[in-house]
Structure 1
Amino acid sequence: MSTTAHSPTKAAPLDTRMAVEMLYLAHQALSRLPDAMLARYRLTRLHHRVLFFVGRYPRLSVSELGELLDVSKQAVSPALQQLINRGLIGREAAPHDNRVKLLWLTEAGQKIEAWLHHEQQRLLQRAFDDQGETASQDWFWINRLLAAAAPAGQGEGVPSCQHED
Structure 2
Amino acid sequence: MTPNDLVLTPRGVRFKGRYFPCSIGKGGLSDTKREGDGATPRGVHKIVGMLYRADRLAEPRPWALPIGKDDLWCDAPDHTDYNQQVRGPFAASHEVMRRADPLYDLILITDWNWQEAVSGRGSAIFLHQWRRPGYATEGCIAFSRADLHWIAARVVPGTRVIVP
Give the TM-score normalised by structure 2.
0.24
As a proportion of its length, which structure holds more helix? 1
Higher relative contact order (CA 8 A, sep 6+): 2
Give the TM-score normalised by structure 1.
0.24
Which structure is larger by alpha-carbon Rg, 1 or 2? 1
